[in-house]
Every structure is written in structure tokens, then in C-alpha cells.
């Protein structure tokens, strides 16, 4: 009985490998660098890139119109002054958080499964923050005066309003972008050097050579690389929590019912990681299929990401429940009305769709069969992405459209340009992402190699001991 | 395999980092310089006028009171530009044939105003009221500079918001006794700060710095 039980535990706890069988240091380098260097531009890539690029051109059109006619081309008006633009901003910036969590916190926690997904998760972070950053600027109406947001010496003798969370947001997002970019780039340096050394044509050698900043792989280089990575991970770690906390302050500091709540910071951070992991899955599943990377991004990776999604999804669900409870427990007329309006008001469909997408459907991830089914995982990741977008829409538009005085109540209807801006940034994101997978190693060669090394060492040890 | 780069690229890359920093620093200094330069602010730049009117002659040498021409300065937001009739009170009697004054006489004959070029014009998004400043002890020359020494009128300040705030933050540095407001030769006394503090209290001057004070 005892031995049977312990056997079962041993079977259950023996982890699936993080890397397919038969990989050596060389095959890893070959496989990842060949995607960039020898595979070339494939029709599938061109097709996807063309679609993304068309959407990016749509964004160009929208921005041009926005400059000419102003934010009036969107459906915003008082009382709903913040609608799609801020929804998209929060959505995009939330998506970025998974990349930072994977690359920084999991690095510090020595989670080995991060190695084959961290590179493109970080790229996702950077591109998502770029998309996010555009929205507040476009939403200002006069984007060319964006520098008013920064404290700089000026002939008006004027600082930004430091008591406003919108100013904190500027610092949070710009710090986030800077640290993420540096972290990503530092991590890329040894891999860029590998590409430089393996590139056959002169232009690639020069470009990768310049980007790899003279990397020769000496012991000093490695020691500095490790140290810089660790420092940047230390810098990025608080950002995982702080950035979305500050984003949530944009709402909580205001006294609008539905916004003015102390649960927002943790709720937003959990939601950010939730949507971020959903996006990582949305990206990872087609990429590993198309580039045959199943042995590097294994089922175990997908399984772990699904579990993280489930865990953060439960935190988000808890926040929804507490929010609803507090609205009634507060005995505040406006809070109660806000919640009733969410559930039964003109935007009730959106609210219940959000509950379905974020609360109900992801519960399927409790089942191991669902976590191991790639189509199911892909679908759920899309559903969560949609759900998290709806969540921000509900928080922003549904709270604003009926605040205190009924004479101020009004509806928000998105115009075609609202949709075009949103879809346009998706185009920007995927254009950048397609360029990334074409020209940069989308999986960290260095880190996967060190994982191979460790795995082989372990095997050797276990052989020696047995 | 041959090296991709020559040895010298090490030096070039290091120099380019330093160069980028210097360039950005230089660019910031240049932009600040342009922002503060008379070329951009039109500070101290005289303007061409249809008639070369001299404040030095009229307000300085002849001692005509500011309010003789700028009649509404102590009653209204706008100081007022004199109608041609005001000029003609004197110039129908003296210098009646001066060719320099022909546009003035033409204006009088045809009843068409002389189109002066505005020297001190605040943007439309700024609310400014002359009367409150004048009646709280802010002299004409505090903002308009040594007007009694200007043969042709120029803008004495940058009209930047920092220029307004300089006084709004510390009115005691600029306020003068009400009797001296229209004196174009007034020099602040040595104990300006002491006197200023006393006058601020006496005239109940508020240091107004709300956005909506001027941007209504």
C-alpha cells in the first residue's frame, strides 16, 4: 500500500521535460538561428505581415483624421469623456505585464520554464506598451503638446500637476517601457552575436554586429551580462506591480462610483497578468506550430501558463465578487445604483459577456484535458483577451455614463473610427511582432542552451548514482 | 573568418555614445536659447509704425501723462489707444505741416483710424485687466519698461507666463506707492522689499496664482 502510494506520487511529480528529447547545445542554436538566417521570408509570414501592415496603415489614416478633425471623430462626449482610448490603453498595458512577470520575477525565482518563452513575451511587452502609450497621447486632442506631461524647465514656470495620477501614469509607463526595452536588449546581446557569427551576408553581419555591441563571449562579458540581467530583473520586478497599480489610480483617485475603490490596485495587477498570459498563449500557440517549435515550447509550458491564467483569473473573479458585495454593503445609493446599472442597465450585455469571458469559461482550465488541448487553450486565451477588454470598457464607460446627476446621463456609442483606432493598434502590434520573429531570435538561444546543459548534467548525475 | 569590423569601431562606438550625449545636451541648450531669444520673443525689438511715434518725446521730454492718451487704463481691462482726435488736440496747432505727421492728418480728414502695430499683445487665452493692476500700485513701467526712454516703442518683457508669475508670486518686489504708478521715471527705492511688503498689506494685494485667474 505504502509503496504503491509513493510510486503514484513519484509518477505524478516527475515533471515532463521542458525541452524535447535529443537536443544538444548545437541543435538548439541551429534550430533557433535558422528561423532568422536560413529559413528566409516564407509565404505564410508574408501573408500575416501583409494583413498586420494593412491594419497599421488604417491606424495611420485614423491618426491623420484625428490630427485634422480632433477627438470628435470618436464617440466620446461629456459625460463619457474616456471611452475606447482609455479602455485600449489599460488593455494593452495590462497585456504587457505577463512579459515582465516572466522575464523578471520568474528569473529571480529561478523558474526554468520561463527560458523558452521569455524572449517573445518580453517583445510582446514592449510592443504592447508602445500601443498603450499611443492612446493617452492621441486622446489628449493635441498630441503635439505631449511634452507638457513631462516636468521640464519651461518659460511658463509651470510643472505638471504632481497630485494627479495621470502624471504618475506618465512616469510609470515611460519607466516601464525603458526598463523593459533595456532588459530585452541586454538579453538579446549574446544571441545577436550568435546571429552575427552565423550570418552569411555582409549586411546581416554588420547589423547584427552593431547590435551585439562587440560581444565576444569572454568571461568578463558573461559576468557583466549576468550582473546586468540580474540588476534589470531587480528593477523590473517592482514594475510588475507598480505600473498597473498606478494605472488603477487613474480611476480610484476620482470619486466616480465604480472607480473610487481601494481594491483596484491588486485587482488591476491580477487582471493584467491574467490578460498578459492569455496573450502569450495566443501568440505562442500559432508560432510554435508554424515554426515547429513544439520541442522548445512544450506542452508543459502551455500547461503552466494555463495554470497561471487560472490562478490570476480566480483573483480577478474574487475582485468582481468583492466589488459587487461592497457596492451593496456600502449602503451608498450611488454605489448600489452603479452596480445595478452594470447588471441591468443599457450596457448589461457587455457586463454579462465579461462575466462569461473572464469568470465562467476559463474555469474549464481546472480540467487537465482542457489544458492539454491546444485548440481549447487557444480559444480560451482569445476569450480571456476579449473578456479583459470588456472589463475595462465596463469600468470606464458604464461608470461614466450614469454618474451622480440624472440630467448628466448619456450613452456612449463607438464610431467606426473608435473601432479603427483599436484595430489599428492591433495592426501596429502584429506588424512589430512579425518583424521581430523574422529578424530576431524569438527564443533565447543562450538560456535554452544553459537549460540543455543543466538537463544533461542532471541526467549524467542520475546515471552515475544509479 | 575575417572580422566584421575594424579595430577602430571600438573607439567610434564609444565616441558616438559621448557624442550622442553632447548632441542632446547641445540641442537642449540651443532650444532654450531660441526660446529666450529676442528673435523668438520679440523682446526689445522695435516695430515699424505708420507714424514714428516717440514715447520718449511725449511721455518723457514733454511729460504728458499716460492717461492723456490711454484713457481707460485705470477703468477698464484695455488701456485704450487714442483716437486721432487726441493727437490733433496738439497737432492741429503745432507741427501742422510736418510731413512725418501726414498720416495723422489724413486719418483726421478721412475719419479712418491709424492702424498701429500692436507691440504688447497677450494671447486670446489670457485674461488681463489693466485697471486692477494700476489701482493696486503696479506702475506702467513695471511691465512696459522704460517707456519714457523709447524713441520707438518695443516690448520690454517676454510676455511669457514666467514673466507674469515673477510678479504674481512676489508682488512685494514690484509694487510701488499708488501716487507713483504713472511716473515713467520712478526708480524703486533701496528698501523696496520692506516698502513692498508694507504696500502689499496696505493695498490688500493677493498673490493670485490659480490657473483660472488668467485662463478663464
Give tens-digit pLDDT for B43-77. Answer: 999 989 999 999 999 999 999 999 999 999 999 99
Which ranges constitute the DSSP H helices of A70-164?
84-100, 106-108, 118-139
| Selected residues 119-158 of chain B with any CB under 8 Å from a CB in chain A | 158
Residues of A in contact with B10 (CB under 8 A): 214
On average, the pLDDT of chain A sits at: 91
Residues of B in contact with A205 (CB under 8 A): 4
Which grid cell is A170?
506618465
- The 3 state secondary structure assigned to A35-91 is HHHCCCCCHHHHHHHHHHHHHHHHHHHHHHHHHHHCHHHCCCECCECCCHHHHHHHH
| Mean predicted confidence (pLDDT) in B112-123 | 92
Q: Tell me what pLDDT residue A115 has.
A: 86
Task: Tell whether B13 is within 8 A of chain A (Cβ).
Answer: yes
Q: Tell me what pLDDT residue A295 has.
A: 87
Q: Nearest C-alpha of chain B: how many angstroms from A155? A: 5
pTM: 0.88
Where does the pLDDT of residue B132 fall: very low under 50, low under 70, confident under 90, or very high at 90 and above? very high
Q: Tell me what pLDDT residue A413 has.
A: 95
Instruction: Give which of A157, A197, A215 to mutate to test B binding, by max B Cβ within 10 Å.
Output: A157
- CB A335, CB A403: distance < 8 Å: no
Residue stretches of chain A with pLDDT short of 50: 1-12
Provide φ and ψ at A322, rounded to 5°: -65, -40
Cβ within 8 Å, pair A209-B4: yes
Query: What is the rounded CA–CA span in Å between residue A42 and residue A62?
Result: 30
C-alpha B103, offset from chain centre = 26
Q: How many CA atoms lie within 13 A of A13 on its CB side?
A: 6
DSSP B155: B
Spell out where A252-406 has E strands: none
On average, the pLDDT of chain B sits at: 93
Whether complex ipTM tops 0.85: no
How are the residues of chain A apportioned to helix, strand and coil, as percentages rounded to the nearest 5? Answer: 75, 0, 20
Amino acid at each position: 500500500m505504502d509503496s504503491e502510494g509513493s510510486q503514484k506520487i513519484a509518477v505524478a511529480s516527475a515533471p515532463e521535460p521542458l525541452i524535447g528529447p535529443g537536443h544538444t547545445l548545437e541543435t538548439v542554436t541551429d534550430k533557433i538561428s535558422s528561423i532568422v538566417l536560413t529559413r528566409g521570408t516564407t509565404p505564410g509570414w508574408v501573408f500575416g505581415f501583409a494583413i498586420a501592415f494593412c491594419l497599421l496603415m488604417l491606424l495611420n489614416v485614423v491618426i491623420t483624421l484625428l490630427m485634422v478633425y480632433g477627438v470628435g471623430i470618436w464617440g466620446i462626449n461629456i459625460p463619457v469623456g474616456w471611452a475606447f482610448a482609455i479602455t485600449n490603453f489599460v488593455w494593452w498595458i495590462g497585456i504587457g505585464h505577463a512579459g515582465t512577470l516572466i522575464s523578471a520575477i520568474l528569473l529571480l525565482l529561478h523558474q526554468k520554464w520561463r527560458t523558452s518563452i521569455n524572449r517573445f513575451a518580453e517583445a510582446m511587452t514592449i510592443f504592447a506598451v508602445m500601443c498603450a502609450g499611443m492612446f493617452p497621447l492621441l486622446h489628449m486632442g493635441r498630441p503635439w503638446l505631449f511634452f507638457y506631461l513631462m516636468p521640464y524647465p519651461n518659460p511658463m514656470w509651470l510643472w505638471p500637476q504632481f497630485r494627479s495620477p495621470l502624471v504618475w501614469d506618465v512616469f510609470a509607463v515611460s519607466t516601464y517601457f525603458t526598463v523593459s526595452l533595456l532588459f530585452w536588449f541586454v538579453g538579446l546581446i549574446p544571441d545577436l552575436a550568435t546571429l552575427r557569427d552565423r550570418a552569411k551576408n555582409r549586411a546581416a553581419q554588420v547589423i547584427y554586429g552593431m547590435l551585439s555591441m562587440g560581444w565576444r563571449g569572454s568571461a568578463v562579458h558573461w559576468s557583466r551580462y549576468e550582473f546586468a540581467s540580474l540588476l534589470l530583473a531587480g528593477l523590473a520586478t517592482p514594475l510588475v506591480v507598480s505600473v498597473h497599480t498606478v494605472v488603477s489610480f487613474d480611476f480610484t483617485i476620482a470619486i466616480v462610483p465604480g472607480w473610487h475603490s481601494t481594491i483596484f490596485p491588486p485587482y488591476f495587477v491580477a487582471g493584467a497578468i491574467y490578460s498578459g498570459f492569455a496573450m502569450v498563449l495566443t501568440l505562442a500557440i500559432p508560432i510554435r506550430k508554424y515554426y515547429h517549435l513544439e520541442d522548445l515550447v512544450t506542452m508543459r509550458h502551455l500547461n503552466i501558463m494555463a495554470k497561471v491564467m487560472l490562478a490570476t483569473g480566480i483573483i480577478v473573479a474574487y475582485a468582481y465578487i468583492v466589488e459587487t458585495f461592497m457596492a451593496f454593503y456600502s449602503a451608498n445609493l450611488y454605489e448600489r445604483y452603479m452596480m445595478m446599472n452594470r447588471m441591468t442597465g443599457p450596457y448589461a450585455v457587455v457586463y454579462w459577456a465579461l462575466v462569461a469571458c473572464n469568470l465562467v469559461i476559463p474555469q474549464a482550465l481546472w480540467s487537465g484535458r482542457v489544458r492539454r488541448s491546444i485548440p481549447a487553450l487557444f480559444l480560451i486565451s482569445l476569450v480571456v483577451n476579449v473578456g479583459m477588454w470588456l472589463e475595462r470598457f465596463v469600468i470606464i464607460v458604464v461608470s461614466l455614463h450614469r454618474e451622480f446627476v440624472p440630467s448628466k446621463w448619456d450613452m456612449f456609442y463607438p464610431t467606426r473610427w473608435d473601432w479603427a483606432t483599436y484595430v489599428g493598434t492591433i495592426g501596429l502590434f502584429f506588424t512589430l511582432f512579425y518583424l521581430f520573429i523574422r529578424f530576431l531570435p524569438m527564443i533565447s538561444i543562450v538560456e535554452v542552451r544553459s537549460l540543455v546543459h543543466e538537463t544533461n548534467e542532471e541526467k549524467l548525475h542520475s546515471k552515475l548514482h544509479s | 573568418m575575417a572580422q566584421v569590423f575594424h579595430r577602430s569601431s571600438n573607439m567610434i562606438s564609444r565616441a558616438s555614445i559621448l557624442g550622442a550625449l553632447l548632441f542632446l545636451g547641445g540641442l537642449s541648450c540651443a532650444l532654450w536659447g531660441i526660446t529666450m531669444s529676442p528673435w523668438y520673443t520679440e523682446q526689445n525689438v522695435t516695430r515699424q509704425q505708420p507714424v514714428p511715434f516717440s514715447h520718449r518725446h511725449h511721455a518723457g521730454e514733454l511729460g504728458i501723462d499716460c492717461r492723456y492718451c490711454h484713457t481707460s487704463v485705470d477703468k477698464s481691462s484695455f488701456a485704450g489707444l487714442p483716437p486721432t482726435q487726441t493727437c490733433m488736440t496738439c497737432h492741429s496747432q503745432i507741427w501742422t505741416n510736418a510731413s512725418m505727421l501726414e498720416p495723422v492728418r489724413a486719418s483726421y480728414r478721412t475719419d479712418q483710424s491709424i492702424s498701429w502695430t500692436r507691440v504688447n499683445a497677450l494671447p486670446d487665452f489670457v485674461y488681463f485687466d489693466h485697471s486692477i493692476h494700476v489701482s493696486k500700485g503696479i506702475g506702467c513701467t513695471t511691465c512696459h519698461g522704460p517707456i519714457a526712454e523709447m524713441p520707438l516703442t518695443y516690448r520690454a518683457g517676454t510676455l511669457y507666463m514666467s514673466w507674469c508669475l515673477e510678479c504674481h508670486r512676489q508682488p512685494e518686489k514690484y509694487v510701488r506707492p499708488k501716487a507713483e504708478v504713472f511716473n515713467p521715471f520712478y526708480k524703486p527705492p533701496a528698501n523696496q522689499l520692506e516698502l513692498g511688503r508694507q504696500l502689499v498689506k496696505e493695498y490688500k494685494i493677493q498673490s493670485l496664482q490659480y490657473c483660472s485667474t488668467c485662463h478663464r
